[in-house]
Amino acid sequence: MSLNTHKLFVFNLFIVFNDSKTIFRDKPLGDQSPPSLRDAPMFSFFKSKKKPERQLNTACELKSGDMLQIIDSFAYPAWLKGQMLKVANVQTYQYERNSDTEFVLETDSGQVVFLQIEKEDGEQWANFSIKIQRDDVDSIFTLDEFARIFDEAGLTHLNTKNIPKEFSHFLAQEYKQAEAPYVAYFHEKDYRNLTLPRYQDESGEPCEIIYLESPQGSHSLNIEVWDGGETEISLTLTRPITDIVDLFPGSAT
């Protein structure tokens, strides 16, 4: 048989994998171009790894977008007990030697409560705070009685004159100023994994804090006096950290 009159074909065998099927094709050796991926069924030898889901082990790890659930207990008002709360923001109070992280929490109905995690003697406590207005202060303490906090040189003892129903879970019968006023710098930013600015740096907003506590330590009164004289007053309920019964990670990384 002459090679001039007959064209000799030598077949090259190649394999294309497609899941459980194996497809055999014959291609003339004379065609040296590699098999096109366009001709082969789509298949990825390297499947993309699924990103591991973020885990929340403690409330201290909460970030914006995460959610937590409060225990269904009569220790809380109806709008808070058993509720699921979303972390709307994380902010920082910077002091001379340490700092506190504050979580801004929102209910489904839009009510806001602030959470700080307190660590003391190896235990953790959840401090839930709500802000009250001038008229509320007058109703609870009277403005004249409340003004003694700013007028008296020594530590002030303050009695509650009236306990409105809407604030009953956040109020004690009496408070005692626990320490002298001190300065904090407020940052509307989460600094847990960042280096804090130098204390007294202009990046923070300064305020003077006056702190009063109930004899049992279950309630407290926080007064923040800002530049220009603006004053914010918060009522705080202190509860065991175990009252936060569940944590749900959001989209934060």
Of the ranges 16-25, 80-89, 238-247, which one carries the lowest mean pLDDT score?
A: 16-25
| pLDDT attached to residue 51 | 64
What is the tens place of the pLDDT at every residue in 50-88?
666 889 999 999 999 999 999 999 999 999 999 999 999
Of the ranges 13-17, 136-140, 144-148, which one carries the lowest mean pLDDT score?
A: 13-17
Q: What is the phi/psi pair of residue 91, to 5°?
A: -135, 175
SS3 170: helix
What is the tens place of the pLDDT at every residue in 96-120?
999 999 999 999 999 999 999 999 8
Mean pLDDT, the chain, integer: 85
| pLDDT attached to residue 13 | 38
Q: Mean of the pLDDT values across residues 203-221?
A: 95
Q: Mean of the pLDDT values across residues 118-147?
A: 96
Is a pLDDT exceeding 90 seen at residue 154? Answer: no
Of 165, 184, 178, nearest in space to 225 by CA: 184
| 3-class secondary structure per residue, 18-82 | ECCEEEEEEEECCCCCCCCCCCCCCCCCCCCCCCCCCCCCCHHHCCCCCEEEECCCCCCCCCCCC
Is a pLDDT exceeding 90 seen at residue 21? Answer: no
Of the pLDDT bands very low, low, confident and very high (cuts 50, 70, 90), residue 5 is very low
Q: Mean of the pLDDT values across residues 214-230?
A: 96
What is the tens place of the pLDDT at every residue in 185-210?
999 999 999 999 988 777 899 999 99
| pLDDT attached to residue 50 | 63
Of 186, 196, 199, 178, nearest in space to 226 by CA: 186
Q: Mean of the pLDDT values across residues 164-174?
A: 98
The larger pLDDT score, comparing residue 28 to residue 153, is at: 153
Is a pLDDT exceeding 60 seen at residue 246? Answer: yes
SS3 146: helix
| pLDDT attached to residue 19 | 47
Q: Distance between the two ends of the chain, CA-based, in angstroms?
A: 73
